[in-house]
Amino acid sequence: MAGTAAGSERQNRLAPYLLIAPGILWLLVFFVVPLVALAQTSVATGDGPWWDGYARALGNYGTHFLRSFRYALTATLLALVLGYPLAYVIAFRAGRLKNLLLGLVILPFFTTFLVRTFAWKTILSDSGPAAWLLRQAHLLSESGRLLDTTLAVVGGLTYNFLPFMILPIYVSLEKIDRRLVEAAQDLYSTPLGAFRKVVLPLSLPGVFAGSLLTFIPATGDFINAELLGSPNQQMIGTVIQNQFLEVRDYPLAASLSFVFMAIITLGVMAYTRVLGTEDLG
């Protein structure tokens, strides 16, 4: 009996490793190893010095990097301004409508991202409804355009990643113990005071997760810039994609991709230090 007990003990110690093995191996082989391959590709410059790709990446595409981060940052802030109140209303004021409203928030996910962006192209086009409405209100001149502008690109980015902002904020608001808010009000705090001192601090983990989940995909996105913008709005994703798939200048493409990832990783680490929480999941 003692032998089998020891055997099952060993089995138990091994069990978690057996359970994670297939998935973790997959991630190692198809996530970690590719990053190594990318690094190798970036320095495989042939005759030139190994840093040639990096030199060209930083020298020629600085504006694209800066533009991507600027657009993504604006889109993230806009998504926060749009998303937080909606998440708040769903968590605290929706009552029985809560699940329905949550369903409406994730509804866009059920139509293809690309088709959705084409729909924006229709809405914002020169003969489309948005331009017509703004012209009627004399907010847009007769020759003024919505499509192919920075506004359209940032608006598209905001739109596409808004649910990623709303859902984590909603989750963190939902977790807040209602009695804390009541306690604050019992202690003669104004509704705004209770929000500022109780609800807002407790919802910061959601704001943190939501901003990352919005900012990261937004910086790398190139569909919105390509469909809703002009070449003046081109983002770094377009350059990487173009260098990899059309021009096939692999060292440059891989350098761009690697620099991009490095900046994002450093940014995320700095941001985590400031607003720190590890709980992204």
Q: Per CB under 8 A, which of residues 182..211 are in contact with other proteins?
A: 191
What would the two tokens of residue 31 be?
Answer: 């996530």
Using CB under 8 A as the binding criterion, the count of chain residues that bind other proteins stands at 87
Tell the residue number behind the tokens 């807002």, with chain if given.
200
- Window contacting other proteins (CB under 8 A); options: 20-28, 59-67, 133-141, 172-180: 20-28
> Binding marks (x or -) toward other proteins, 79..108, rule CB under 8 A?
---xx-xx-xxx--x-------x-xxx-xx
**Cα–Cα nearest to 208, from 142, 130, 281:** 281
| Alpha carbon distances (Å) from 55 to 49, 59, 73 | 10, 6, 26
Handedness of CA 134, 139, 144, 150 (dihedral sign): negative
- Window contacting other proteins (CB under 8 A); options: 51-59, 135-143, 172-180, 243-251: 243-251
User: Is residue 46 involved in binding other proteins (CB under 8 A)?
Assistant: no
Cβ 221 to other proteins shortest distance, Å: 8
Residues 132-151 binding other proteins (CB under 8 A) are none
**Residue 138 CB-density burial (10 A; 0-12 exposed, 13-18 middle, 19+ buried):** exposed
Distance separating alpha carbons of residues 76 and 71, to the nearest angstrom: 9
Distance separating alpha carbons of residues 210 and 200, to the nearest angstrom: 14
Cβ 143 to other proteins shortest distance, Å: 19
User: Is residue 16 involved in binding other proteins (CB under 8 A)?
Assistant: yes
Residues 50-79 binding other proteins (CB under 8 A) are none
In which element (H, E) is residue 26 found? helix 2-27
Among 7, 10, 20, 60, binds other proteins (CB under 8 A): 20
Among 22, 59, 95, 231, binds other proteins (CB under 8 A): 22
Cβ 121 to other proteins shortest distance, Å: 7
SS3 content of the chain, % helix, strand, coil (to 5): 80, 0, 20
Among 30, 59, 95, 96, binds other proteins (CB under 8 A): 30
Distance separating alpha carbons of residues 231 and 90, to the nearest angstrom: 39
Residues 111-130 binding other proteins (CB under 8 A) are 111-123, 125, 127-128
Cβ 144 to other proteins shortest distance, Å: 18
- Window contacting other proteins (CB under 8 A); options: 25-33, 52-60, 173-181, 196-204: 25-33
| Alpha carbon distances (Å) from 267 to 79, 153, 206, 215, 274 | 19, 23, 18, 11, 11
Contact 243, 252 (CB under 8 A): yes
Cβ 109 to other proteins shortest distance, Å: 6
Cβ 70 to other proteins shortest distance, Å: 16
Cβ 188 to other proteins shortest distance, Å: 14
Distance separating alpha carbons of residues 144 and 123, to the nearest angstrom: 15
User: Is residue 43 involved in binding other proteins (CB under 8 A)?
Assistant: no
